[in-house]
Chains A and B, each alone.
Chain A
Amino acid sequence: MRIAYDRSACQGHNRCYLLAPELFDVDDEGFAILLVEGDVPTELEDKARLAADNCPEYAITLEG
């Protein structure tokens, strides 16, 4: 599983950061920063799904 994060769609709701801080950090203005490159560690796949399923702006999509 890979995560695609669309910075242009992000409005800083911070749901991903609250649900999956292992996968997302947040910058000084409150926009998300994707922390993982490449495949999501298996044990974090559920958290990746939570982050994607709770983004009000559909800025996070999962591939694979």
Chain B
Amino acid sequence: MSEDETAQGEAGPRPSPTDWATDFDHTHDDYAAAAPEIWDDLRGRCPVAHTDRFGGAWLPTRHEDVSAIAHDTTHFTSNSVIVSDFRPSTPAPVGFAPPITSDPPFHDFARRLLLPAFSPKAIRPLEESTRILCRSLIDALLAEAAGPDGGPEGAVVDVATAYTQHIPVGVIAHMLGVPPEDGDRFRLFIHRILEKPGQNGPTDTEDTMIFYLIQVIEDHKANPRDDLIGYLLNLEVDGKQLSDDHIIGTVALLLIAGIDTTWSAIGASIWHLAQHPEHRQRLVDDPAVMPFAVEEMLRAYAPVTMARIVAEDVEIGGRQLVKDDWVLLPFPAANRDPEFFDRADEVVLDREKNRHSAFGLGIHRCLGSNLARMELRVALEEWMARVPDFELASADPSAVRWSTGQVRGPRALPLRLLRTATPSPVAVAS
């Protein structure tokens, strides 16, 4: 998480990296287009890559190294988890957006405030409204899609903007108690923070996420309600309420962490299915495989790369990491390490042994993992029920645009709808 949203970084494209082993740049469009191939290449010849960009950063690609760093809170701090040209200015162990930017011992305090709201049993009641949201989005896009015969068959639809992007926005807005109509604003804030951190040029103060959240929280204070922000405002720990800074940082975290990430996982899964008719058929024929398929999609297309800063000099994979260096934690690269997974580069829909780390490892395991997993499963179930057959609209890979930065997923995903099914008249199952 970064507090440098308004920092005036360089605008415009950076030079292409010459060698990913010595000059990588995960915010570059070239990385977005080919990240899995870059990880595979690096794992083979330079498993802990380095760049002088961002003031010095490392990129490990083996599961063993990523896991070691994620579990080591002594040599690595979470004080900032988004690598940019700027170093964090909010002191450890709290950081800007607790608990993701927090270190022990404060981390445990901040995390335990939130864990009950995201446990599997707390998330289960949200499934029904998520399913209704997915159905209404599909209804709307099918009603607008006009193929050669006037119906949706044969029509081309950008599923990233017509379907997948709206699901996490609707779910998290509901949880936090903010208007889902503000979705375009959230996505703009998040885009600036995640995709080209510190490279967006000047931004008006009133056009920042922090300014927006201050207004949202003031509104919740004036009009108390029963949602996650209301819960945070009412919390008392040892007779004291949480500070406004803590609440703003945590709400910023929930908004940023809950939207592009899940959008990416749903989109990447649909992108995969568009190219694999045998996997579409398997999901239609054997719905019991879906929970395994969801975990396999999370393994193969894990969206999130986290980051740390070196707190004490340490050796990782034979390289000497020095205090204040950035370190990326590419969980998606760890998930494709053939030393750790059989058939690592292949999607095995019913994979039975799958210790993937899509949600991270160690004390910072994604707080929202149960929410994200539910959204992904419901989004895929509803999509497959209504659009059982579809394909990429273009054979040109560049027609699909992948996000840059530490959250990877399709931001443009034009599909051709080949066959649609009538909506199930059955009531929403829970």
Contacts and interface: CB of A to CB of B under 8 A. Distances in A.
B120 A14 contact: yes
B50 interface: no
A40 interface: no
B361 A11 contact: yes
A55 B363 CA distance: 15
A56 B66 CA distance: 13
Given A11-B362, A12-B115, A14-B369, A26 B355 contact: no
A28 B362 CA distance: 19
A18 interface: yes
Interface string B120-145: 11000000000000000000000000
B121 A29 contact: no
Interface in A1-20: 11-15, 17-19
B354 A54 contact: yes
Contacts of B118: 30
A22 interface: no
Contacts of A12: 115, 119, 365
Interface residues of A, number: 20
A50 interface: yes
A29 B116 contact: yes
Contacts, number: 53
Given A12-B115, A13-B359, A13-B365, 13 more contacts: A11-B361, A11-B362, A13-B369, A14-B370, A19-B291, A26-B119, A29-B116, A30-B115, A30-B118, A54-B295, A56-B357, A56-B359, A56-B361
Contacts of A18: 120, 291
B104 to A, nearest CB: 14
Interface of A: 11-15, 17-19, 26-30, 50, 53-58
Interface in B296-335: none
Interface residues of B, number: 22
B352 interface: yes
B353 A29 contact: no
B183 to A, nearest CB: 28
Contacts of B295: 15, 54
B112 interface: yes
A29 B363 contact: no
B363 A11 contact: yes
14 contacts: A11-B362, A11-B363, A11-B365, A13-B365, A14-B120, A14-B370, A29-B116, A30-B119, A50-B352, A53-B353, A54-B295, A55-B355, A56-B355, A56-B356
Nearest to B354: A54
A14 B119 CA distance: 9
A55 B353 CA distance: 9
Given A14-B120, A50-B352, A56-B355, A29 B370 contact: no
Contacts of A57: 361-362
B370 A30 contact: yes
Contacts of B363: 11
A28 B117 CA distance: 9
Given A53-B353, A55-B355, A26 B121 contact: yes
